[in-house]
Chain A
């Protein structure tokens, strides 16, 4: 059985979805169900994490989904660490999607502060899933610091542009010893399938689903694309040919 395993915890679905930008919380809940996702992110700045009557949180069945709080809005490591601890204190599982985005325009992740926060949170017992630019060396540093996954962006968040960082993501996938989750920029199911065909372990999608004409149908479409891409990867794609051009033989001299 092909499972996604993060920090020793198995998941059947390789699609993670976000909870932002939906027209209503009911629509959000139904869309999440249609996506088949088991990991659902929520921005701590959007909810009253310690309020049992919070409407958004009450629409997410925590027996069914792993609620993954994100630190979106944090501008440095200290802010992100505070938010993560707040969520844990409020009863969330000690998992955090770490987002440190000092630039309010493209919301690009700050590599230095992200690494700092990861080091602190891992020591503090958190399972840390950092959102990063597609930087293979940063991915290595984070892995060494104990990150449970790395989540490189395909394109700036919310842009729907697809995998613009393809070559660097390929290097991260090639070198990583933790799951690689392609996050941000995936605007169409075909983008998600492409990431999975490349060998990504999972993808994270929010905007492309939450602003679709029919969010439930789009969620199902992403779910199928993720499965199709994963199956194609496992099946072994018929690759473009990289065969050698005929040249002088290199092995003629060898004996049995």
Chain B
């Protein structure tokens, strides 16, 4: 049993009809419940729910305060490699794009990690493209081991691995995984991923299952917003998170809300996702899974990020750079996409405090995973 079996029970056509048929009265009923169920999710993501966005936000705010308190956790991404053999049409690292390609050496990784550490970060997210030779499991293990002394929590957002590969990462000291399905629409997925290992929809869809089986403590998912139709993509993201939370109950599930940003290759979003829809999705995910981590990255503007913070966001990136080695060499343009919120980590943590939240830099310790300690 994997999510591939679950998603079949919710045919796209049926889900879209449910969303279209939702009424205000049904939305009100769902919002009156103490806990919403998976069957309420299409209602809360429907156009009929938009007039109730303020009620959803108040409820999401209350639940988040109860479960997480007034905190926002900060992390930053670190790109290790932009080598890639995939042809994802929306991505700056697309193998067909003629851009300078880099894979950081261990020395460069340590240097970059030290800079990130010096900003104050103790949670780091390591990213690569998908290149089986230049950045493989062995390379990642070496990178993790090299930076482990500097960070309390190390997550990865890389190519999907076998269960054994994820287990290897856990053993090396990785506690979190992020893997976006990009779009849950199988047909659209095929069009957007014409070649490369990533063209295998099911292999990617089951990656969180394999990570859960390997015992990763945190599993993050998301759809790249702007590819597929909004409400159905949001529904399948919620369904996926809901399934993972039930099945891999020792792991914390998190959801990200990445909206497409300008990137090399000039891909235009296929659907416009409004700020209100983004907020609607954030609130719906919070109501569905009170304990889920909800991530908002520097893809979004400073104003929007600050405003969405009380609606249920628990994790924010800061000081991000989407090019390998970008903290050491700021001038080079090999980034995956252009960020929007370019405030420094100090500026962001000051805003977080001003809004009445605590900026949390460390919420994990490598001692949990390290059998040698003690």
Instruction: List the interface of chain A (C-beta within 8 A of B).
Output: 140, 174-177, 199, 236, 238-244, 247, 249-251, 253-256
Contact = CB atoms under 8 A, between A and B. Distances in A.
B213 to A, nearest CB: 11
Given A177-B246, A244-B58, A247-B58, A254 B275 contact: yes
A146 to B, nearest CB: 11
Nearest to A136: B249
Given A244-B59, A247-B58, A251-B279, A239 B274 contact: no
Interface of A: prevailing SS: loop
B373 interface: no
B33 interface: yes
Interface string B44-61: 000000000111011101
Given A240-B32, A243-B32, A251-B57, 8 more contacts: A175-B249, A177-B246, A238-B29, A239-B32, A239-B34, A243-B55, A250-B310, A255-B275
A175 B246 CA distance: 6
Interface residues of B, number: 27
Interface string B11-47: 0000000000000000001011111010000000000
B265 interface: no
B249 A140 contact: yes
Contact of A249 (B33, B54, B303): B54
B311 interface: yes
A239 B276 contact: no
B271 interface: no
B249 A242 contact: no
Contacts of A254: 53, 275-276, 279, 307
Contact of A174 (B35, B61, B275, B303): B35
Given A177-B246, A256-B274, A250 B35 contact: no
Contacts of A243: 31-32, 55
Nearest to B311: A250
Pairs of residues from A and B, 8 with the lowest C-beta to C-beta distance, nearest first: A244-B58, A250-B57, A253-B307, A239-B32, A255-B275, A254-B275, A254-B276, A251-B57
B138 interface: no
Given A175-B246, A255-B276, A256-B274, A250 B61 contact: yes
B103 interface: no
A176 B33 CA distance: 19
Contacts of B276: 251, 254-256
A175 B245 CA distance: 8
Contacts of A249: 54
Interface of B: 29, 31-35, 37, 53-55, 57-59, 61-62, 245-247, 249, 274-276, 279, 303, 307, 310-311
Contact of A241 (B32, B35, B53): B32
Given A174-B35, A238-B29, A239-B34, A244 B55 contact: yes
Contacts of B249: 140, 175
A143 B32 CA distance: 30
22 contacts: A140-B249, A176-B246, A177-B246, A199-B37, A236-B29, A239-B29, A239-B32, A239-B33, A240-B34, A241-B32, A242-B59, A244-B59, A244-B62, A249-B54, A250-B58, A250-B307, A251-B53, A251-B57, A253-B307, A254-B53, A254-B307, A255-B274
A224 to B, nearest CB: 25
Contacts of B245: 175
Contacts of B59: 242, 244
Nearest to B277: A256
Nearest to A175: B246
B34 A250 contact: no
B279 A242 contact: no
Contacts of A244: 55, 58-59, 62
Nearest to B1: A177
Contacts of B303: 253
A149 to B, nearest CB: 15
B248 to A, nearest CB: 10
B34 A242 contact: yes
Contacts of B31: 243
A247 B303 CA distance: 21
Contacts of B274: 255-256
